[in-house]
Amino acid sequence: MTNRAASFFLTLPLMAQGPIEDSRLKAIEGTDYTYRMPEYRTRAEWEAHKTHLGKQILAAAGLFPMPELAPLNAQIFGRLERDGYSVEKVYLETLPGYYLCGNLYKPRGRAGKFPGVVSPHGHWKTGRLENAELGSVPGRAISLARQGYVVFSYDMVGYNDTSQTPHVFGERREQLYNFGPLGLQLWNSIRALDFVESLPEVDRERLAATGASGGGTQTFLLYAVDDRVKAAAPVNMISGIMQGGSPCENAPGLRHDTFNVEFGAMLAPRPLLMVSATGDWTKNTPQSEFPAIQRIYALYDAAANVETVQFDSQHNYHQGSREAMYTFFAKRLLGGDGAPVREEPFTVEKNEDLLVWANRKPPGNALDYQGVFAQWREWTRVRGVNREALRYALSAETPSKVAHQQSGELIALYRPGRGDRVTGLYRKGSGTPVLVVHPDGAEAGRTAEQAAGRTALWIDAFRGGRNETARHFLTFHRTDDQNRVRDILTALAWLNGPAELRCIGRAAVWCTFAAAVHEGELKLRAPVSGFQATDDDFLNGFFVPGIQRVGGWQAALKLTEKQRQ
């Protein structure tokens, strides 16, 4: 903000001014921030938002648009037959040279088609092998199989057999391609569902998902983007006060302007069980998160399809929570009458009888970490030009309304209800309006580009200076460069018609990307110097997660061809 603009606008009355300061500079939202569910008055309003959220999740995961499916080349072996169920080892090639491992539990002594359940484990110390009082992953799979379900219990990335990447990875260079544990896990979950529904004994119309903690996050992210999930029980995870602490639950852009309760509601009107505990971040579920999600279900006249149960316990997927899930699934997937389903005693196999690579080597084409990263870059790369994919990478949208305050040539623009604030200088003149963007702000822009006689707007595009040390900062907040693109789009929307965009120095890169996703008539004057669109150029000069995946600089140039003529 120019010094004159700052001193003037801080003296305006609050009601006339809109936001006193740009809320983006405070940057207080994060994993442990307290969020409130917005009010959605109609089903159509929610459905539009839900569609947007689905694309946002996929974009943050590096899966928008969805890459092509390759054969899973599923291998199932090592069958053990037990009382009422069997258990086998499984590995799937979820992308070329990368393998997801797990165990397949199936009913024995029953005929017909069975519901299928995908079962992500969460952050238990021993992953899908965990068998403790607070959570038994094989125990719930055994019990479900005995009750008449086919269950695939599979690894999170970096756990047990699925070790071609660590569990924590994805630094800034990888982020340019959306390569991180959240995206790889979500892709594995989608492919796990593909595997389960392909089994001849599975009824494809009765697919479900359940997991606790990080496995609960995997569960609701899966059903948020995949309508094949017909019922779900995410345990001890849907919360308005904690959004997930692991990198596998966070990716840049995932929770821009949203939070987990909205993700949790995306199953509506399909049946949902919310299991919570008094001793963790789901302690408020009966009074807060459950009513919020039930209001979304009510938009479908399906409030009865979401249920909740809370246990006086620490963080868990213990026997009580499992029995609540059994009862819910029995009613929703097996046609039960709602009578409680109790867990019978079970015996868990030895680790070597569950681990896929015990006494076996991975396939010869199995990649190391750098190989997986290289495969991801090639396999997920957007072919051609996709404006919508670029818009989601930039986390940008053209606002439907822009308000302003003005005194003489001083002006401030903002998107009502969003808290952002773009200051600058405005002069009424003749002809097509000119928007000038200089990296040093409006005053420097006017000095460099007078736009004599023209209607002109010079803006202070986002200058940064925030404290970005909070965990998973970019999960909740746009990068400085995303905010600069956003400010340019705000200014263009306020001009509300054909415009000319003149950009100086490194601001030319910001403007080219803004113009690439701008929806109106625009003439672009943005000479670029020294930007070769390498990874290092993006890391140091225009940092936007996912930008290289969606075509980067070449996509922007292609989309602005006519504007630059």
Is the pLDDT higher at 26 or at 2?
26
What average pLDDT is seen over the chain?
A: 95
Residue whose C-alpha is closest to residue 353's, from 5, 96, 80, 547: 80
Please indicate, yes or no, whether residues 298 and 438 belong to a single structural domain of this protein: no
Q: How far apart are CA 564 and CA 541, in angstroms?
A: 21
Please indicate, yes or no, whether residues 205 and 307 belong to a single structural domain of this protein: yes
- Per-residue pLDDT tens over the stretch 292-306: 999 999 999 999 999
- Domain assignment present for residue 564? The answer is no
- Domain assignment present for residue 36? The answer is no
- Domain assignment present for residue 332? The answer is yes
Task: Give the per-residue pLDDT at 508.
Answer: 98
Residue whose C-alpha is closest to residue 295's, from 323, 261, 256: 261
- Domain assignment present for residue 436? The answer is yes
Task: Give the per-residue pLDDT at 19.
Answer: 73
- Domain assignment present for residue 39? The answer is no
Q: How far apart are CA 314 and CA 337, in angstroms?
A: 30
- Domain assignment present for residue 409? The answer is yes
**Band of pLDDT at residue 30, cut at 50, 70 and 90:** very high
Please indicate, yes or no, whether residues 479 and 491 belong to a single structural domain of this protein: yes
Domains: count for the chain: 2
- Per-residue pLDDT tens over the stretch 260-278: 999 999 999 999 999 999 9
Q: How far apart are CA 143 and CA 430, in angstroms?
A: 75
Residue whose C-alpha is closest to residue 263's, from 480, 61, 118: 61
Please indicate, yes or no, whether residues 337 and 402 belong to a single structural domain of this protein: no
- Per-residue pLDDT tens over the stretch 96-148: 999 999 999 999 999 999 999 999 999 999 999 999 999 999 999 999 999 99
3-state DSSP: the chain helix, strand, coil percent, rounded to 5?
35, 20, 45
Q: Judge whether residue 17 has pLDDT over 80.
A: no
Tokens of 271: 């049946």
Tokens of 339: 């009578």
Q: Respond yes or no on whether the N-terminal peptide bond of residue 269 is cis (omega within 30° of 0).
A: yes
| pTM, 2 dp | 0.96
Q: Judge whether residue 3 has pLDDT over 90.
A: no
Task: Give the per-residue pLDDT at 4.
Answer: 53
Q: How far apart are CA 358 and CA 360, in angstroms?
A: 5
Please indicate, yes or no, whether residues 25 and 56 belong to a single structural domain of this protein: no
**Contact assessment for residue 232 and residue 220, using Cβ atoms and an 8 Å cutoff:** yes
Task: Give the per-residue pLDDT at 471.
Answer: 86
Q: Judge whether residue 451 has pLDDT over 80.
A: yes
- Domain assignment present for residue 37? The answer is no
Please indicate, yes or no, whether residues 274 and 389 belong to a single structural domain of this protein: no
Please indicate, yes or no, whether residues 541 and 419 belong to a single structural domain of this protein: yes
- Per-residue pLDDT tens over the stretch 49-93: 999 999 999 999 999 999 999 999 999 999 999 999 999 999 999
- Per-residue pLDDT tens over the stretch 74-83: 999 999 999 9
Tokens of 33: 């921030």
Please indicate, yes or no, whether residues 514 and 393 belong to a single structural domain of this protein: yes
Domain stop point among 380, 409, 432: 380
Domain stop point among 359, 380, 401: 380
- Domain assignment present for residue 565? The answer is no
Q: Judge whether residue 548 has pLDDT over 90.
A: yes
User: For the residues of 374-434, what is the DSSP string, one character each?
Assistant: HHHHHHHPPPS--HHHHHHHHT----S--EEEEETTEEEEE-TTT---EEEEEE--EEEEE
Residue 420 — left, alpha, or beta (φ > 0 → left; ψ -120 to 50 → alpha)?
beta
Element (H, E) at 102: strand 98-107
Please indicate, yes or no, whether residues 450 and 550 belong to a single structural domain of this protein: yes
**Band of pLDDT at residue 20, cut at 50, 70 and 90:** confident
Task: Give the per-residue pLDDT at 26.
Answer: 87
| CATH code of the domain containing 237 | 3.40.50.1820
Please indicate, yes or no, whether residues 394 and 273 belong to a single structural domain of this protein: no
Residues whose CB falls within 8 Å of the CB of residue 522, separated by 6 or more in sequence, listed in order: 492, 498, 499, 500, 501, 515, 563
Q: How far apart are CA 399 and CA 155, in angstroms?
A: 41
Please indicate, yes or no, whether residues 252 and 393 belong to a single structural domain of this protein: no
Percent of the chain with pLDDT over 70: 97
Task: Give the per-residue pLDDT at 2.
Answer: 52
Domain extent for 171:
44-380
Domain stop point among 380, 415, 446: 380
Please indicate, yes or no, whether residues 446 and 527 belong to a single structural domain of this protein: yes
